[in-house]
Structure 1
């Protein structure tokens, strides 16, 4: 029970109520002592009225009056005259005098502590103001023992009352906590358990219903997390199915392209000048398509293959990309330009760099053609001290906000309608495989620029990075 939230509330409530009673115990006992002594003074004053009415009273009556008042003698000051009104033998010497005429709170608490700590039964003198203007001062002598006993009884009564109050309060809080906190929390836990059994089932997503603001915020946060997780699981499932389908298509497509590659080998021996000029590009395109199909088939078993580093001329790769995109653009008013030094040599995987640049240029071409306006795509490269940089710029409409927020996320960063965003994802992965980076340098309504940075230092790829 004490390990539960409501059980701990029960224990803490009892403890806190008892602590609160301890803090108010001393002021309460001090006030009780003050009232006790003032009552003795009042009784002594009433007892003295009998003598004031009749100057002569019997010894027995005087003794009875003092016993009823609980004092040994009574001194009354009237008209500046101090008069011993009632008296009886005092069994011991007076040890302390207490003035009850407007004492301070700290004085009352201190005197109460002294009374409780004194286990003897000393004789004390108490001074106070008479009630109803019955004189200037009244003074009595009495035993302290009965006062201490009464204070202890009062303290025990406070302790018992505090215990009863704390138990009742704790029980009420126990019931309230179970009704307003524990029950809703158990409901949330039950929702989490049901959702964990089948996270793909959207019907198991929690619907916030708590009346407590903090608990409702927790339910809303849980709903948001469950919604995102369900969506992610569905997307991963669809991606797995898509990957299986692509692998099957790539397998058959590879066989078809292999056959086409055999036919292109025959075309290369043609004597037609146009065929001789275009045939190598066709062969290279089909070869790349075959390699891409093979890589797609391997994608389900591992990530992108590590780059095969070799030195090659970047200008040749750029020329192949531009020639391919010119054919795709057809008669559209789109111009291509390049600013790549003819002697610039890269140490990288030529096929992967071709795919990176091709993806960027293709995205730029599709973005410009989607506007229906003319445009230009430029590829430039520079050789820095520690890295090679390749910039692909266009005069297209720029990337929309959603594409910028999900730039390198598959199926979320597409810039054109119907686009999947896979081109940038693939390009970024291939560049990272070289130890480099693909970054968006700028994008606005006047165009977009991507920068490929390839380090010159040889990168030794670990098994996790490959």
Structure 2
């Protein structure tokens, strides 16, 4: 049934079950109490009949005696007064007495036990019951009676109790069903509807949910959903702006390259000028143009497509590190930066030579620029080694450390820029290239004493990586 597959339907069913369980727990003591009252009422009638007989000094007709016993629904009555046990009324007993029950100060569990035993026994039996006379009319009153009328009355009472219980449980369940519908199901459906509508156009800020639930837990859920939707909408807007930026840059890339190429040719000719001022300015102009060309190409390369899978080959790491360091030394002004290389000459790794060159170049260049920004001498250390899982390359510098914002968005493009005016593409590209090898690039530390990166390259090939077999 579809109803019981819903939250409301299951709550309705559970409510009815729990109410019925509660009513059953009440039912058993109620039936036991009914049995006790039934027997006491028969003893009270028997006492009235016996007192009527005693009032006539035992002078009563036999027909009247049978009528008194029939009215009390007992076979005989024994009254104990002044320590004397006296059979006051009597009639033939159709069967032997099966059981005796003393209702004076009987514990509750005993009354319940006897009531259950009476209900489950369909046979009519003769029992003796004892109790205290009302209004202190004696010490004890006894009577014998059949169990069939008692059992029939108990069953009738029980059915009425169960019917009333079923009605109460049904009404309670319906009321709770309506309450749950209003307080829980409707707000939950509202949240689901908001999620569906938002999913159709997540960039539309008007579709972000506004918390209105009065239930604390549901309101917390709505507030959490609102926060998530706002973050996602902001991220999608930023992604859209970056995509538009990439498209715009792609459209002007050809003309921009032509302009920069022409400027580079002019700058090269300026270097041959005899004017001392021109000779001093020309290298800086060439450097600025080259950096502009490099920034344009790296931006296009990042936004145009994903990097190609690495073409893996074995090579000596020391030669690659030396090449990177020699290239960076050309940009160092004097002895401002000292390079320390601790790479074993016999260490052979398997990686994409060109991509790893780009990774190390980005890391070394960032370190160099960080040191130069302090206008103080510094050191860049490059170490490498081999481990069971693969190879590691460590690069550290004595620069001023990374700013807090850079550490927060270190490997995110256009957000993790280290130096003022930087785009943050260098580290983002480096991390992407390392991930393409199945490895990882991580920041070990960054404080006032310097920054240290660690690059891990796995020995085993990952899925989707092209190259020679291991």
Residue 163 (structure 1) aligns with: 166
Residue 375 (structure 2) aligns with: 374
Is the contact made by 1:98 and 1:125 (CA closer than 8 Å) also made in structure 2? yes
TM-score (norm 1): 0.83
Between the aligned partners of 2:258 and 2:109, the Cα distance in structure 1 is 102
Residue 179 (structure 2) aligns with: 176
Between the aligned partners of 1:364 and 1:75, the Cα distance in structure 2 is 113
**Number of residues paired by the alignment?**
452
* 1:339–1:123 Cα change, 3 Å: closer
Deviation, 1:74, is: 0.7
Residue 322 (structure 2) aligns with: 315
Is the contact made by 1:124 and 1:143 (CA closer than 8 Å) also made in structure 2? yes
Alignment of structure 1 residues 138-157 onto 2, 5 Å:
138-157=141-160
Q: Which moved more, 1:64-73 or 1:415-424?
A: 415-424
Residue 331 (structure 1) aligns with: none
Is the contact made by 2:396 and 2:450 (CA closer than 8 Å) also made in structure 1? no
Residue 13 (structure 2) aligns with: 11
- Which of 74, 77, 80 aligns to 2:80? It is 77
Between the aligned partners of 2:13 and 2:460, the Cα distance in structure 1 is 67
Deviation, 1:175, is: 1.1
Give deviations 1:387-436, integer Å, cap 9, x for gaps: 4735240331x223333232212233334555442222122233444565
Is the contact made by 1:321 and 1:354 (CA closer than 8 Å) also made in structure 2? no
Q: Which moved more, 1:126-135 or 1:259-268?
A: 259-268
Provide the secondary structure at the position in 1 that maps to 2:222: helix
Is the contact made by 1:247 and 1:296 (CA closer than 8 Å) also made in structure 2? no
Is the contact made by 1:206 and 1:223 (CA closer than 8 Å) also made in structure 2? yes
TM-score (norm 2): 0.82
Between the aligned partners of 2:328 and 2:357, the Cα distance in structure 1 is 7
Alignment of structure 1 residues 425-464 onto 2, 5 Å:
425-433=428-436, 437-452=440-455, 462-463=464-465
Deviation, 1:161, is: 0.3
* 1:84–1:135 Cα change, 3 Å: same
- Which of 384, 395, 401 aligns to 2:399? It is 395
Deviation, 1:15, is: 2.2
- Structure 2 unaligned runs (5+)? none
- Which of 409, 434, 455 aligns to 1:406? It is 409
Between the aligned partners of 1:92 and 1:411, the Cα distance in structure 2 is 103
Is the contact made by 2:246 and 2:304 (CA closer than 8 Å) also made in structure 1? no
Between the aligned partners of 1:83 and 1:453, the Cα distance in structure 2 is 106
* 1:33–1:453 Cα change, 3 Å: closer
Alignment of structure 1 residues 41-120 onto 2, 5 Å:
41-55=43-57, 56-120=59-123
Give deviations 1:6-25, integer Å, cap 9, x for gaps: 23322222222222222332
Between the aligned partners of 2:375 and 2:272, the Cα distance in structure 1 is 39
Between the aligned partners of 2:46 and 2:383, the Cα distance in structure 1 is 112
Superposition RMSD on alpha carbons, in Å?
A: 3.9
Between the aligned partners of 1:115 and 1:270, the Cα distance in structure 2 is 125
Residue 225 (structure 1) aligns with: 228
Q: Which moved more, 1:116-125 or 1:279-288?
A: 279-288
Provide the secondary structure at the position in 1 that maps to 2:213: coil
Between the aligned partners of 2:68 and 2:466, the Cα distance in structure 1 is 103
Deviation, 1:199, is: 0.4
Deviation, 1:279, is: 11
